[in-house]
Amino acid sequence: MTICIAWKKGCDMYFISDSRLTNGVGGVLTDMGTKIFKIDVKIFNPDDAGKSNSSLSIKLQTSFGFCFAGSYLNGSLFADTIEEILSNIQAIPYSDISIENLSDIAFAVYKNISSELSKISAEQGLSEVLFAGYCPVTGDLKAYRFSVEVSTEIIYSKFVVAENDFPLLLGSVIAKQNAIKLLCNMSDKYTIFHIIRELIKDENIETVGGGIQVGVFSLGEFNVNGLMTYEILEDEFGVNALKENYTFRGIDLDFNNLEINSGFLNNTKMFLDPFYLERTEYFDQIHNELDEKNTKAGLEP
């Protein structure tokens, strides 16, 4: 399982998730699993000559996004398949390219994949998906929830996520219960980023762990962003120092590593900095403690 949270902030929408993958019986497979995906959408103009897509002019290009909780095989197969379908659409003047119709196509893919996987892995082959994007027709940002219920038969459901449904939680029961409790503590200094960090650190929630990954819908596009975090290190003299870390989908990226920056290339990936205030307070605290030590030792601060 996992924990995924979606919420609205102004005109933007955020997806956030942990990065742990488990085997369904409590065993951790990896703490670097992708839970949030960007889906490129390309709609080509009609052409009677039967040209390949590389020769067709593009009518519209945008990006959708989705996050999921449940079977990683289900989620990754859905990502790969729907990416290929939605990035190769040819539309005639009467085609319905609304996000409502495109989400119906995505839901059909979701059902087909889930149906096949459930024959082999039963409920372990199923997942719950939150699929969203800006409508190519209206420009409105819309989100849809794909879910499945297993009783005497498998029942699939697709719902439009209403404004009052946010924040929306996907994942294991215990993770969602704990997240709901923590949501009551939200403030300017305690955000959903802090909540998911607490859930990741909670050893009682075995299915949640690893790093934080985040996707943002803004200005007509969806992007999976990196994250700036920090840690407090202590040197051999007992002096604390603050180290800034850059991660992407829970994977540490050390931009001081010459191999990552090979060929004098500059990485322009956007990294969000949700712990800025907290990090600044720690930084000031460390420097104040260092100044006090220097003063007691008779040194200039």
- Taking the C-alpha atoms of residue 161 and residue 141, their distance in angstroms, rounded to an integer, is 11
Phi, psi of 88 (to 5 degrees): -140, 50
Count of domains in the chain? 2
Same domain for 246 and 212? no
- For 155-172, the pLDDT digits (tens) are 999 999 999 999 999 999
Domain boundary among 182, 206, 226: 226
pTM for this model (two decimals):
0.89
Same domain for 290 and 217? no
Same domain for 20 and 169? yes
Same domain for 51 and 154? yes
- For 125-143, the pLDDT digits (tens) are 899 999 999 999 999 999 9
* Any domain includes 35: yes
Torsion angle defined by CA atoms of residues 89, 93, 97 and 98, in that order, rounded to the nearest 10 degrees: 180
* Any domain includes 301: no
Same domain for 51 and 79? yes
Same domain for 215 and 248? no
Quickly state the pLDDT bin for 299 (edges 50, 70, 90): low
Same domain for 155 and 110? yes
Same domain for 266 and 135? no
